[in-house]
Structure 1
Amino acid sequence: MDNKERFLEIFNTCIHREGADKLLEYLLSKSSDFFTAPASTRFHGAYEGGLVEHCLNVYECLRDYLSRERVRNVYKLECDEESVAIVALLHDLCKVNCYKVGSRNVKDANGVWQSVPTYEFDDKLPYGHGEKSVYIITGFMKLTREEAFAIRYHMGFSGCEDKRNVGDAFEQFPLAFALNTADMEATYFLEGKHK
C-alpha cells in the first residue's frame, strides 16, 4: 500500500465529521498538490510525496505517544481516534500548493558546479503556518477547540509565535503538546538526518 492509499484508508476509517468528504474531495482534486508536494524545501521530506509521508509519520508518532502508560495514567490525556487522525493527518495543510520545482547550483565531489533540482517556497496565501491549516480545514468542517489549538500550535516553541502563547496553549490543550512532540519526532528522527 502506498502513502496515498494509506492516508485515504486512515482518513476514511477514522474521520466521519460533516464536511470531511468535501475536504478529502479537495485534497484529491487538481486544485491541491497534497499527495505530491514535498514537506519542505531542503529539510525533512524535501521530495515528491514528502508531505503526505510526513503527515502519516506524525499520525503514527502521535498514536504511539498517546498510548504510553504515563500519558494515559499520569497526564490523563485521552483522545478519540477521529481527533488523532484529524490533527495528525491535516496539521500541515498550510503547505498545499506552496512549493514549486526549481534548481540550484552545487559543487560535486570534484568541485564542478552542477545544477540540481530543488523546491522553492512560494506561498500564495501567506496566513501563517498552523493558523493557515486551521483556516483551510474549517472551510470544510468544524474542529473542536482542542483540535484547533493543537494544529495551530503544532510547531511549538520552534515557530514564530509569542512563546507565552505556546506555553499557555500546551497547558490548556494537552493535545497541542502531544502533536508538537509527534511532529518533532517525525521530523527529526524519521525524516531528518537520522533517516
Structure 2
Amino acid sequence: MENIENIDYKEKFITYYKQYIKREGADKLLEWLLKTDFFTAPASTKFHCACEGGLVQHSINVYEVMMEKHFTEGEDNAESFAICALLHDLCKAQFYKVATRNVKNEKTGQWEKQPYYSVEDIFPYGHGEKSVFLIERFLRLNTGEAMAIRWHMGGFDDTARSGGFAISQAYDKYPIAVKLHLSDLEATYLREHGTSNVRNK
C-alpha cells in the first residue's frame, strides 16, 4: 500500500478507490460522487465526525480499521474491502443541509446565529439498503458486499431492532459483513471520539 499519510481526505479516498476498485462502472460511480457533497458532508449531525468533510474522513477510517484489523491475505478480497468500507455510507451524500439557529453568547449575552447540520433526506430509502441501491446504479456488488453494506449498522439498524433474524443470518453466512460492522464501530467510537464539533473550518 503506498504511503499517502500526508494528503487530505478527499485525495486519500480517491487514491484508495482508484488503487483497489477496478470493477466495471467504478469510474462512473466516482464521477457521480465528485458531483455530490460526499467530500464535504458530515458523517452525522452531532455525533461522530459532525464536521465539514466528516463523511469522507469516516469512510477512510473504516477502511483503514478494516484492513489493519480484519484483512486476511489469501482469504479476503482487497477490492471487496475497499468497496464495502469506502462506500458503506454513500446514503449520506446529499442527505444533510446547513441551517442556522439562534444561540446565546454566554460572554456577551447577545443572541447570535450559529450554523448546524440538519437532515434533509430527499430519498428516504433506509440506510444500508440505500447505499446498496446507490452503488448498484453504477457497479454490481456481489452478495457478500451487498450484505455487508446493508447490515453495517448492526443492532442500530431499525429492522434489526424490531426483532428480524435477517441480520443474524447475514453475519453467520458472510464474514465480511461482521468485519465491516466491527470496523464501523471502532472507527466511530474509538478513532473518531471527540470529532463532533459542528462546522469545523
1:91 maps to a residue whose letter is: H
TM superposition score normalised by structure 1:
0.89
1:17 corresponds to which residue?
Answer: 23
For 2:103 and 2:68, the matched residues in 1 are separated by 39
1:193 corresponds to which residue?
Answer: 194
Q: 1:90 aligns with which of 75, 87, 97?
A: 87
- Runs of 4+ deviating beyond 4 Å: 107-111
1:51 corresponds to which residue?
Answer: 55
Q: 1:33 to 1:194 in 2, by over 3 A?
A: closer
- SS across alignment from 1:161: helix
For 1:39 and 1:186, the matched residues in 2 are separated by 12
Bigger fraction of residues in helix: 1
- SS across alignment from 1:11: helix
RMSD between superposed Cα atoms in Å: 2.0
Tell me the percent identity: 49
Q: Say whether residues 1:153 and 2:151 are aligned partners.
A: yes
Q: Say whether residues 1:60 and 2:57 are aligned partners.
A: no
1:102 corresponds to which residue?
Answer: 99
Q: Say whether residues 1:78 and 2:75 are aligned partners.
A: yes
Q: 1:175 to 1:77 in 2, by over 3 A?
A: farther
2:4 corresponds to which residue?
Answer: none
Q: Say whether residues 1:125 and 2:123 are aligned partners.
A: yes
> Contact 2:171 / 2:177 at 8 angstroms: preserved in 1?
yes
Q: Say whether residues 1:166 and 2:167 are aligned partners.
A: yes
1:35 maps to a residue whose letter is: F
1:166: Cα distance to partner?
1.6
Return 5+ residue gaps in structure 2 as ranges: 1-6, 197-201
1:192 maps to a residue whose letter is: H
Q: Which has the higher contact order (CA 8 A, sep 6+)?
A: 2
TM superposition score normalised by structure 2:
0.86
Alignment deviations for residues 6-54 of structure 1 (CA, whole Å, 9 cap, x no partner): 111100000000000100110112xx11111111111111111000000
In the alignment of these two chains, the number of paired residues is 186
1:192: Cα distance to partner?
2.7
1:114: Cα distance to partner?
3.9
For 1:66 and 1:108, the matched residues in 2 are separated by 46
1:86 maps to a residue whose letter is: I
Return 5+ residue gaps in structure 1 as ranges: none
1:60 maps to a residue whose letter is: E
